[in-house]
């Protein structure tokens, strides 16, 4: 007899919601999308078109204007919620979902500030609900493997981490909420660049001690181009080049040790190693994954520890605070 499907409500029906839905529809034997919470008619129409077109499904889960409407119509909460709303709405959304009794996965960045992160953590502790941040790097089996190799001494002593991330972000976000500071919380570095920052800190296994930074808004209301150099508390150095006015979306991270170099990406979809005496990169095997939501369900089942708890969201908020202070000097 088949087990009960995990029900999920998706709060927000925009672009990132579609990415999560694509993963969920590949798990229809175990996952049921109970509905979407989004009052925006265009977001609803786009989601419905995607269901009929790309996903070739006859029926779209119901839409609701508010979480309260969803709870009333369904006579209670879903098993879990996925929050994919604009950044400034995250903290209220995740608090409401947890208080309603749902384990919650929230898109990055978790919140706008360290204070908001602590508010969310307080409610998590009060309700006992699972709260996790959808940073693919933290959930990635490739990054888990890379951390194991570093801990095992496979690249010797960790010396430096070099990061570059770029995207046609400036042109792609013109006229959207992502270029409204009070809604987005920041520009390219806070948005797409957050993946690179989070994965870099995961690999370092240490908090940042100090940094110097400069940034340029390139005539927009938010940061577009940024350069950062700093040092972790464990002594390793790091550099970050974040360019939001580029031709495509790409990111690479090089973890440099005294006995080897690991090469990966912000999202953890690849892993290679360069060993002493070799100039070429050899691939490193790691387990397959369907993505963040699949791994989130494994956390809910107790199969793995939460790789990206709210503390990771707080960690990123603290990094951005340091970045802003460094730029202001």
Considering the domain boundaries, does residue 19 fall inside one? yes
Considering the domain boundaries, does residue 115 fall inside one? yes
Q: Centre a 10 Å sphere on the Cβ of residue 66 and count the other Cβ atoms it contains.
A: 13
129 with 148, same domain: the answer is: no
Considering the domain boundaries, does residue 155 fall inside one? yes
Residue 250 CA: distances (Å) to CA of 47, 189, 195, 215, 241: 26, 13, 11, 19, 12
Q: Judge residue 159's burial from the number of C-beta atoms within 10 Å of its C-beta, 0-12 exposed, 13-18 middle, 19 or more buried.
A: middle
pLDDT of residue 21 exceeding 80: yes
User: CA-to-CA distance for 139 and 313, rounded, in angstroms?
Assistant: 14
What are the φ/ψ torsions at residue 2 (nearest 5 degrees)? -65, 145
Could you read off the pLDDT of 267-289 as tens digits, one per residue?
A: 999 999 999 999 999 999 999 99
Q: Which helix (H) or strand (E) holds 314?
A: helix 310-328
40 with 64, same domain: the answer is: yes
Model confidence, pTM: 0.95
100 with 26, same domain: the answer is: yes
Considering the domain boundaries, does residue 318 fall inside one? no
Listed in sequence order, the residues at least 6 apart from 132 whose beta carbon sits closer than 8 Å to its beta carbon are 104, 105, 106, 296, 299, 306, 307, 308, 309, 310
61 with 200, same domain: the answer is: no
127 with 249, same domain: the answer is: no
184 with 248, same domain: the answer is: yes
118 with 42, same domain: the answer is: yes
CATH number at residue 129: 3.40.50.720
Considering the domain boundaries, does residue 295 fall inside one? no
3-state SS assignment for residue 158: strand
104 with 176, same domain: the answer is: no
**Measured between alpha carbons, how far apart are the two ends of the chain, in Å?**
64
30 with 110, same domain: the answer is: yes
118 with 49, same domain: the answer is: yes
pLDDT of residue 1 exceeding 60: no
Could you read off the pLDDT of 230-267 as tens digits, one per residue?
A: 999 999 999 999 999 999 999 999 999 999 999 999 99
187 with 242, same domain: the answer is: yes
Which domain covers residue 234, as residue numbers? 141-288
Q: Please tell me the predicted confidence (pLDDT) of residue 329.
A: 87
Listed in sequence order, the residues at least 6 apart from 51 whose beta carbon sits closer than 8 Å to its beta carbon are 57, 59, 60
3-state SS assignment for residue 49: helix
Considering the domain boundaries, does residue 329 fall inside one? no
Number of domains observed in the structure of the chain: 2
């Amino acid at each position: 007899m088949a087990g009960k499907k995990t029900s999920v409500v998706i709060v927000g029906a925009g672009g990132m919601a579609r990415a999560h839905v694509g993963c969920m529809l590949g798990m229809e034997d175990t996952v049921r999308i109970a509905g979407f919470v989004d009052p925006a008619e265009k977001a609803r129409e786009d989601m419905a078109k995607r269901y009929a077109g790309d996903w070739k499904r006859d029926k779209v889960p119901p839409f609701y204007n508010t979480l309260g409407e969803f709870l009333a119509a369904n006579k209670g909460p879903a098993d879990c919620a996925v929050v994919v709303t604009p950044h400034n709405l995250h903290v209220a959304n995740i608090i409401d979902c947890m208080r309603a009794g749902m384990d919650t996965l929230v898109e990055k960045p978790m919140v706008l500030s360290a204070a908001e992160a602590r508010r969310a953590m307080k409610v998590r502790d009060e309700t006992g609900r699972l709260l996790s941040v959808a940073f693919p790097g933290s959930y990635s089996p490739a990054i888990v493997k890379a951390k194991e190799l570093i801990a095992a001494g496979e690249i010797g002593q960790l010396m430096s981490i070099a990061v570059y991330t770029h995207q046609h972000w400036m042109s792609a976000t013109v006229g959207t909420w992502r270029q409204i500071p009070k809604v987005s919380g920041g520009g390219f570095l806070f948005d797409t660049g957050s993946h690179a920052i989070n994965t870099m800190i995961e690999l370092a296994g240490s908090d940042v001690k100090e940094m110097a930074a400069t940034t340029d808004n390139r005539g927009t209301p938010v940061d577009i181009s940024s350069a950062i150099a700093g040092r972790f508390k464990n002594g390793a150095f790091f550099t970050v080049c974040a360019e939001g006015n580029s031709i495509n979306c790409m990111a690479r991270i090089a973890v440099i040790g005294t006995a080897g170099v690991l090469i990966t990406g912000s999202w953890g979809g690849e892993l290679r190693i360069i060993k002493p005496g070799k100039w070429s990169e050899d691939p490193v095997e790691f387990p397959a994954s369907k993505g963040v939501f699949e791994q989130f369900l494994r956390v809910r089942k107790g199969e793995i520890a939460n790789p990206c708890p709210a503390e990771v969201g707080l960690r990123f908020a603290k990094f951005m605070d340091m970045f802003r202070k460094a730029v202001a000097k």
